[in-house]
Amino acid sequence: MCGIVGYIGKNKALPRVLTGLKFLEYRGYDSAGVAYIIDNEIKITKEVGRISSLEKLIDEDSNSYVAIGHTRWATHGEPSVSNSHPHRVGKFTVVHNGIIENYLKLKEDLKKKGITFLSSTDTEVIPALLDYYYKEEKNILKTIKKVISILDGSFALGIICDDDKNNLYAVRRGSPLIVAKDKDGMFLASDVPAILSYTNKYILLDNDEIVKIGEDCYQVYDQNLKEKEKELKTFEGSYDAAMLNGYPHYMLKEICEEEKVFLDTLNYYVQDNAFKDNIPEFKHYKNIHIVACGSAYYVGCIGKSLIEEYAGIPVYVEVASEYRYKRNFYDENTLVIVISQSGETADSLEALRKANKDGIDTLAIVNVVLSSIAREAKYTLYVKAGPEIAVATTKAFLAQTTLMALLAVKLAKKEELLKEFQGLDKKIKELLNRSYLDYALDIYQKDNAFFIGRLVDYALCLEGSLKLKETAYINSMAFQAGELKHGTISLIDKGTPVIGICTNSSIAPKTISNLKEVAARGAYIIYITNEKVNDEFYNKVIYIPKVHNIVTPILAVIPLQLISYEVAKLRGCDIDKPRNLAKSVTVE
Ligand code: F6R
């Protein structure tokens, strides 16, 4: 998703803004731009592609002390210089993250008033509206207030007005935005990593708050332009999380952190094989809806298996972008669980809001502290994954899976199962220390791959398949093991990789039969299991440690992640920033 960084202070602005933008690269982008003030003039430079291409067009050492920068992930209009931000109309220069839903109507109205547009973006209506209403209001804050009352959709905005080049202005609704302070200046950013090279003191803006930022101070205003006190917070995470620390890619670094992430999540909620008091004593819900997107949705599928199996509560897992528009059958006996690493995914947030509005109990399982989903749910449980930079989620998936397993134990009221989590960190470490290159070599030159498994193994297949698609660009599909033969088996050809997962001995014979069916049609079988098989129907096997079923998915996902990583590397893919993807999907 788009990223915003702004700086105003005693130091040169461009190196700070460009450094910040590089730390937001993980969000995904296809063009970048900056607006900066030099000799009291505003200059704008934009370029398609990487920030490094933009850097070549700019003298970073320029005597500019005020700048706003942006990385754009195209939604309205192709990636091009004219569609890149900042956008400027009249006296206003703006960077924007989010989507203005009523922009077509606004554009038509503004065109009738004689305003011309240079881009096909939704964003350009914002500086156009600001410039238009400024002529009436003659006051920047009042103008911003007026304009945001007209906008529908989500936005985080960084604004420079030609009449006040000694301040930056910012406002947000829906999309995240922070203001940060170091000893020499002030920053504006979409996310904390952008400012951590300089400071860890920040405030998170709330919806519709407007902020005026000077070189060493800031003032927050509420919707009625009343001044508001907002104290700086200290970001407790470490700068390390946003650094590669010798790893070639964030994806690998984050997978290697999984032993710690597991322990941090476990120890946050459990002590001496008993729950601490930071998970609420939930009432007995008669049914549970889990709502999420992408990999978080697959964690929900794992959660469904575990909660139904151990707590005996029926669970319905739904994709958030569907859930928010469909008729949902919930009542006072329903718990709606929203799972989200970022806590800002637009569809998950809207699904949560829908359930909240209907008076249903909601529980957020989130990684990013104080994100919108974390703040708006009735209950919030954090996973302790730390900042995740690679676009493809790995360590957050493992942490969410750990928390779902803990939640299943809690809802089942079977605390005795907590001992099954003990020592799992060592088994995680053992899996992380293995090489998966051999399996990757079998896959990386293929055009298609399949993952098959039953029940919780099917949920793991979905995640394994998504990882391979998104990081290595291999067309891959996941199937319930018994389902492949009902049509899709026609795609199995000589050498087609089929990754079979079976971690439950009671269903192993069935899954093995299905693997034999595809082996008979020439498939190349990689079998992932936790039980010795004598029958050599596979080409390669990965044995994961045998542990209790409630914690097995935590281990089983690791080989899947590392195989995808190795395949992506062999194929020369942009592992941390796969094409077309964004880390935090703040648009619908
Ligand atoms: C895949 C991936 C995505 C996210 C999805 C939800 O590797 O990262 O599928 O899981 O976009 O994001 P969050 O969890 O931030 O709501």
Q: Are 464 and 472 in contact (CB under 8 A)?
A: no
Ligand 1 centroid to Cα of residue 522, in Å, is 34
**485: how many CB neighbours lie within 10 A of its CB?**
15
How many residues does the structure list for the chain?
A: 588
Q: Please tell me whether the peptide bond between 86 and the residue prior to it is cis, using omega within 30 degrees of 0.
A: yes
**Residue closest by Cα to atom 5 of ligand 1:** 294
**283: how many CB neighbours lie within 10 A of its CB?**
10
Going by the DSSP 8-state scheme, the letter that residue 163 receives in this structure is: T
Q: What does residue 474 show for φ and ψ, rounded to 5 degrees?
A: -105, 130
Residue 28 has a pLDDT of: 77
- CB burial of 13-42 (b: ≥16 within 10 Å; e: otherwise) equals bbbbbbbbbbbbbbbbbbbbbbbbbbeeeb
Residue-wise pLDDT tens digits, 463-507? 999 999 999 999 999 999 999 989 889 999 999 999 999 999 999
Question: Residue 38: beta bridge partners?
Answer: 41
The CATH number of 238-422, from 3.40.50.10490, 1.20.1510.10, 1.10.3720.10, 3.30.420.40, is: 3.40.50.10490
Using a 6 Å CB cutoff, which residues line ligand 1? 293-296, 340-342, 345, 348, 392-393, 466, 470, 584-585
Cα-trace Rg, the chain: 25
H/E stretch holding 310:
helix 294-311
Please, what is the angle between helix 258-269 and helix 424-432, to 10°? Answer: 170
Ligand 1 centroid to Cα of residue 270, in Å, is 26
H/E stretch holding 308:
helix 294-311
Phi-psi label, residue 82: left if phi above 0, alpha if psi -120 to 50, beta otherwise: alpha
What mean pLDDT, rounded, does the chain reach?
94
Residue 154 has a pLDDT of: 87
Q: Are 49 and 574 in contact (CB under 8 A)?
A: no
Identify the CATH class of 427-575: alpha beta
Identify the segments of the chain with pLDDT beneath 70. 238-242, 586-587
For residues 203 and 571, give the distance between their C-alpha atoms in angstroms, rounded to a whole number.
41
Ligand 1 centroid to Cα of residue 337, in Å, is 16
Pairing label, strands 3-9, 185-189: antiparallel
H/E stretch holding 41:
strand 41-48
Annotated catalytic residue, options 2, 161, 502, 573? 2
Ligand 1 centroid to Cα of residue 396, in Å, is 9
CATH T-level assignment (fold) for domain 3-235: Glutamine Phosphoribosylpyrophosphate, subunit 1, domain 1 (3.60.20)
> Which parts of 49-141 are beta strand (E)?
66-72, 87-89, 92-100
Structure token digits, residue 77 = 């209009």
- The arrangement of strands across the sheet holding 66-72 comes to 41-48, 31-38, 66-72, 3-9, 185-189, 178-181, 201-204, 233-234
Pocket test for ligand 1, best of 393, 471, 584 (most atoms within 8 A of CB): 393
H/E stretch holding 150:
helix 140-150
Which residues contact residue 413 at a Cβ distance below 8 angstroms, ignoring those fewer than 6 apart? Answer: 311
Structure token digits, residue 192 = 């904390």
Going by the DSSP 8-state scheme, the letter that residue 546 receives in this structure is: P
Q: Where are the domains of the chain?
A: 3-235, 238-422, 427-575
Atom of ligand 1 nearest to the CA of 373: 16
Active site annotation includes 142: no
Q: What does residue 66 show for φ and ψ, rounded to 5 degrees?
A: -135, 125
H/E stretch holding 143:
helix 140-150
- Tell me, rounded to whole angstroms, the distance of Cα 8 from its chain centroid: 28
Residue 530 has a pLDDT of: 97
Same fold across 3-235 and 427-575: no
Any idea which residue has 């914002």 for tokens? 126
**Residue closest by Cα to atom 9 of ligand 1:** 294
Active site annotation includes 502: no
